Amino acid sequence: MARLFGFLFPVMLVVAACAAPPPPPQLGADGRPLPRVYRIGPGQTSEIRFRMLDSVNTLRQAAGQAPVELDSQLTAAAATHARDMSAQNRPWHFGSDGSSPLDRVRRVGYPGTLVGETISETYETELETLAAWMEDPGTRRVILSPEARRMGFAWEQDPNGKIWWTMVVGG
């Protein structure tokens, strides 16, 4: 047994040394690494939504706030706005028809109150986006609001990989 190990161990080291190292990151004009495109597959919707929900609730718990639940109506409002931002190629809170977050929440029939909407245009993952939202006092206030009870979360990914994230928080 020791002979076999004595033979296999060096062979494994040689094979490991032959493996190609990961390619170096591409650098932009400023010398910083360019972002890697985060591609969302068609079967990842539930996984991404629940990962975001769990992350938001972890942050809310750490801040002493009650957890939120995913809400299909708020998710529909978020999806509508994510698609619309992509079509407009502009991250802002107003729809191409002039609608506000409150208008979109009413259109889907959500019976509660609107706490707020957070949006992002990025190539980053949902968790990197959440981290950026938490660094901004305005979006942080929406995510950690004591009035929040429900959350909708959706995105639209362009063919070039850009993702338009939208989170709608309701009371």
| The pair of three-digit structure tokens given for residue 137, joined into one six-digit string | 């006092």
Strand order in the sheet with 150-157: 69-70, 150-157, 163-170, 114-122
User: What confidence tens digit (pLDDT) does each residue in 12-55 have?
Assistant: 444 444 444 556 666 767 777 766 777 888 888 899 999 999 99
Superfamily of domain 44-60+67-170 in the CATH hierarchy: CAP (3.40.33.10)
Q: d(Cα 88, Cα 154) in Å, to the nearest integer?
A: 17
Q: Is the pLDDT of residue 4 over 60?
A: no
Mean pLDDT, residues 81-98 taken together: 95
Q: What is residue 6's predicted lDDT score, i.e. its pLDDT?
A: 47
List the domain boundaries for the chain: 44-60+67-170
Give the Cα separation of 52 and 60 in Å (integer).
Answer: 12
Mean pLDDT of 148-163: 96
**Whats the size of the chain, residue-wise?**
171
Mean pLDDT along residues 80-104: 95
